């Protein structure tokens, strides 16, 4: 006789006292039986380690996905890596409401993923440890699958699975890893072909390890500020097998602050080749394992920079040592005989020998590189050297994932070109150069945000909405004006020769539903990096970053939206704020271009909302649980704007109105104004202007 814990197919559970083993065959629907009495297998406890850094907008959803697991024998250790966006408040609230499940760790300074994992591992109380990033989510059966599939702890040391990709809160059919190796996933690596894709096929949120093996491995090197799971995987194989299932048990959230994702496996492989492999080889030597990784690094290029006599270069240590040494060597060759000097900006704590060929080393605070790392002393030291340009080496070919580094360097306030350099030699202009010519549709050439700064100073602009009041006759009158448009404005192109100066799409559902058509557009595009995965970019595209916040500092749960304080970016080099509409993005971009007089047209501000909503059944707490299903099209200028059954996001007109009201105050303070020139509108927060009065007849 003993006490048995049952799991039914629908996820419910109960405990039966005085239960005999033979009775299990008579219990229909029992998925698993674990006996808690002595002599039988004890139910496995899972320690869930969640690490977060400035993920306030995602963290509650992440933690809720753990708390609603069908498997209940788990604990949560939640590590806040010195967040500055209010994440700490959310962490405290979650811990107070779930004291029996959640323990917390709070860092005073940002240290990166490895340090956060190391601190949590010291506290774990479970037999296995499952890791989860604070912006990702698990499906409800994740832990149940981990426990049932992990295998014998005496043989298997880790378990991993695939993840679905989630964009804008919508979970799609795409997967994190397209070719997922199942079974003993490290077998072919040990056989000698050194396939690094095995090391980086699973994300942090898909990795579970034996707690005993983690103790044997010891501290993860602090340089693994990301991809710590790759180090653990490479070390754990020395102690046993790693099993895997090609099933999505959670979702990896794609957004503009994901590091090492947008360029896919290439970025992860480059990271491992240039940083991970040396650390793993040191682990093997230290523990006397007869195994060394030998992988030729991906060839990289250094562009010819046309150095001039006496040039001073500031080189940022933002890539692995091999890449930095290569850059120093190449730059010295390019500047041979010209008296070129190179200074290295380096984080404290790196004991790497990178000083050869460098004039001086300037240090910044340790941890994740960002604005907070750049002290006043560092700023003074850097400015005093009067550099001719700054080089930020990337270990990818896109520049994505380096926003924190770009922001840190821009915060110094240097008046020189700032160049990001990809592994393939591509140059990304991060500098602040003024002046640009105007194109045929009024747009400036999209070379960089620096060239667009104040490029339309003194001119007015129109932002075109897609409401029913918009007409092609009115669009024809906008030829030669600076115009911004968005979403499905292309449906008007058959009936007008007008084309917008700049096109944008922000909403994830709009991007996903219309990706093929948007890719065909031959328009200058200003796009947030959150839609970069849809491959909309053409040769005339400029990307900007979103802050992750909407337009408010005030608590929007209050009844008084009039008191909300707006977030409004006046420089597109820095992140653009939400405001619950693509138009609010465009207002900030227009300000960056020097526009202070803006007229909205086609902004009817009235929606007929269908009753039907869709819910992703795999994850019921998705932020798009209230996506709408289109019926008849009455909300836009074109009858085919939305087809029956097409999903779209619930508009928050109350919050949009608050954002527009705040933006109007900002434009007035700049000596201009924000006006509503729509033929028909219910947006009363802006001064109304007769559209016809804006043109000379």
Domain boundary among 401, 429, 457: 429
Whose CA is closest to 650, among 549, 603, 580? 580
Query: Are residues 215 and 279 located together in one domain of the fold?
Result: yes
What's the chain's Rg over C-alpha atoms? 28
Asked if residue 621 belongs to a domain, the reply is no
Asked if residue 639 belongs to a domain, the reply is no
Query: Are residues 151 and 254 located together in one domain of the fold?
Result: yes
**8 Å CB contact between 390 and 379:** no
Query: Are residues 575 and 455 located together in one domain of the fold?
Result: yes
Query: Are residues 62 and 30 located together in one domain of the fold?
Result: no
Asked if residue 643 belongs to a domain, the reply is no
Whole-number pLDDT of residue 11: 38
Token pair 């008007």 is at which residue?
A: 492
Domain boundary among 397, 429, 461: 429
Asked if residue 525 belongs to a domain, the reply is yes
Query: Are residues 461 and 383 located together in one domain of the fold?
Result: no
User: How many structural domains comprise the chain?
Assistant: 4
For 427-464, letters b (16+ CB in 10 Å) and e give ebebbbbeebeeeebbbbebebbbbbbebbeebbbbbb
Whole-number pLDDT of residue 141: 92
Query: Are residues 555 and 665 located together in one domain of the fold?
Result: yes
Whole-number pLDDT of residue 436: 30
Asked if residue 444 belongs to a domain, the reply is no
Whole-number pLDDT of residue 268: 54
Domain boundary among 247, 268, 286: 286
Asked if residue 438 belongs to a domain, the reply is no
Measured torsion, CA atoms of residues 387, 388, 394, 398, in degrees rounded to the nearest 10: 140
**8 Å CB contact between 531 and 671:** no
Other beta carbons within 10 Å of 270: 25
Asked if residue 328 belongs to a domain, the reply is yes
**Angle at 50 (CA atoms; ends 47, 56), nearest 5 degrees:** 150
Whole-number pLDDT of residue 52: 94
Residue numbers of the domain that contains 319: 312-429
Query: Are residues 423 and 514 located together in one domain of the fold?
Result: no
Cα 128 to Cα 142: distance, rounded to the nearest angstrom:
14
Query: Are residues 23 and 121 located together in one domain of the fold?
Result: no
Whole-number pLDDT of residue 188: 56
Whose CA is closest to 208, among 117, 275, 122, 288? 117
**8 Å CB contact between 129 and 217:** no
Query: Are residues 260 and 333 located together in one domain of the fold?
Result: no
Whole-number pLDDT of residue 617: 43
Token pair 């007929």 is at which residue?
A: 608
Whole-number pLDDT of residue 642: 81
Total-model pTM: 0.48
Query: Are residues 112 and 238 located together in one domain of the fold?
Result: yes
Asked if residue 440 belongs to a domain, the reply is no
Query: Are residues 95 and 181 located together in one domain of the fold?
Result: yes
Contacts of 610 (CB under 8 A, 6+ apart): 628, 629, 630, 631
Cα 387 to Cα 390: distance, rounded to the nearest angstrom:
7
Q: Which two tokens stand for residue 152?
A: 């014998």
CATH number of the domain residue 265 falls in: 3.90.550.10
CATH number of the domain residue 569 falls in: 3.90.1480
Whose CA is closest to 542, among 585, 582, 502? 502
Whose CA is closest to 223, among 286, 271, 156? 271
Low-confidence ranges of the chain (pLDDT < 70): 1-42, 151, 178-202, 256-276, 291-300, 349-355, 366-368, 398-401, 403, 415, 429-447, 537, 547-566, 609-633, 648, 650, 697
Cα 580 to Cα 50: distance, rounded to the nearest angstrom:
29
Token pair 């394992």 is at which residue?
A: 289
Query: Are residues 683 and 584 located together in one domain of the fold?
Result: yes
CATH number of the domain residue 326 falls in: 3.40.50.2000
């Amino acid at each position: 006789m003993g006490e048995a814990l049952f799991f039914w197919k629908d996820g419910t559970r109960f405990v039966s006292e005085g239960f005999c083993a033979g009775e299990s065959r008579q219990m229909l629907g029992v998925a698993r039986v674990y006996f808690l009495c002595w002599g039988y297998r004890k139910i496995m406890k899972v320690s869930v380690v969640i690490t977060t850094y400035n993920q306030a907008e995602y963290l509650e959803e992440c933690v809720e996905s753990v708390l609603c697991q069908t498997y209940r024998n788990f604990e949560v250790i939640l590590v806040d890596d010195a967040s500055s966006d209010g994440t700490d408040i959310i962490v405290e609230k979650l811990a107070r409401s779930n004291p029996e499940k959640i323990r917390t760790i709070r860092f005073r300074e940002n240290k990166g993923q490895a340090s956060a994992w190391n601190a949590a591992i010291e506290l774990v109380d479970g037999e296995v440890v499952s890791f989860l990033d604070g912006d990702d989510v698990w499906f409800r059966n994740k832990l149940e699958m981990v426990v049932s599939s992990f295998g014998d702890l005496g043989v298997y040391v880790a378990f991993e699975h695939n993840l679905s990709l989630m964009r804008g809160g919508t979970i799609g059919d795409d997967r994190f890893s397209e070719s997922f190796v199942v079974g003993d996933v490290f077998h072919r690596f040990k056989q000698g072909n050194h396939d690094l894709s095995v090391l980086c096929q699973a994300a942090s949120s898909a990795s579970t390890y034996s707690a005993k093996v983690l103790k044997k491995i010891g501290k993860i090197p602090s340089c693994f500020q990301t991809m710590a799971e790759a180090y653990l995987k490479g070390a754990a194989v020395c102690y046993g097998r790693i099993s895997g299932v090609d099933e999505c048990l959670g979702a990896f959230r794609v957004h503009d602050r994901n590091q090492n994702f947008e360029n896919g496996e290439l970025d992860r492989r480059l990271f491992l080749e240039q940083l991970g492999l040396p650390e793993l080889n040191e682990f093997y030597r230290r523990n006397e394992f007869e195994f060394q990784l030998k992988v030729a690094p991906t060839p990289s290029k250094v562009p010819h920079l046309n150095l001039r006599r006496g040039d001073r270069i500031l080189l940022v240590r933002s890539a692995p040592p091999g890449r930095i040494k290569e850059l120093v060597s190449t730059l010295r060759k390019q500047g041979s005989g010209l008296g070129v000097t190179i200074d290295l900006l380096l984080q404290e704590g790196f004991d790497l020998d990178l000083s050869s060929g460098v004039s001086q080393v300037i240090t910044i605070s340790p941890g994740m590189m960002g604005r907070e790392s750049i002290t006043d002393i560092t700023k003074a030291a850097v400015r005093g050297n009067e550099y001719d340009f700054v080089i930020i080496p990337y270990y990818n070919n896109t520049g994505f994932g380096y926003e924190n580094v770009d922001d840190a360097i821009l915060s110094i306030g240097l008046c020189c070109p700032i160049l990001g350099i990809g592994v393939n030699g591509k140059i990304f202009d991060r500098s602040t150069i003024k002046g640009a010519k105007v194109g045929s549709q009024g747009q400036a050439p999209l070379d960089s945000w620096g060239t667009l700064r104040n490029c339309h100073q003194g001119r007015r602009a129109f932002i075109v909405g897609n409401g029913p009041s918009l007409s092609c006759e009115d669009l024809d009158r906008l030829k030669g004006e600076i115009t911004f448009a968005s979403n499905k404005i292309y449906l008007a192109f058959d009936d007008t020769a007008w084309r917008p100066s700049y096109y944008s799409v922000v909403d994830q559902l709009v991007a996903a539903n219309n990706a093929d058509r948007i890719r065909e557009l031959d328009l200058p595009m200003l796009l947030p990096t959150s839609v970069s995965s849809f491959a909309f970019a053409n040769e005339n595209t400029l990307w900007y970053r979103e802050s992750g916040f909407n337009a408010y500092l005030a608590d929007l749960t209050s009844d008084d939206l009039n008191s909300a304080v707006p977030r409004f970016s006046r420089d597109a080099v820095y992140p653009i704020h939400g405001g619950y509409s693509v138009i609010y993005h465009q207002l900030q971009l227009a300000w960056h271009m020097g526009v202070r007089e803006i007229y909205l047209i086609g902004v009817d501000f009235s929606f007929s909302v269908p009753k039907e909503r869709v819910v992703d059944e795999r994850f019921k707490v998705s932020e798009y649980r209230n996506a709408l299903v289109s019926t008849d099209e009455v909300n836009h200028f074109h009858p085919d704007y939305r087809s029956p059954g097409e999903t779209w996001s619930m508009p928050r007109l109350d919050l949009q109105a608050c954002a527009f009201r705040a933006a109007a105050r900002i434009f007035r303070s700049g000596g201009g104004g924000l006006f509503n020139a729509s033929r028909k509108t219910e947006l009363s927060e802006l001064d109304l202007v007769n559209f016809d009065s804006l043109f000379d007849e």
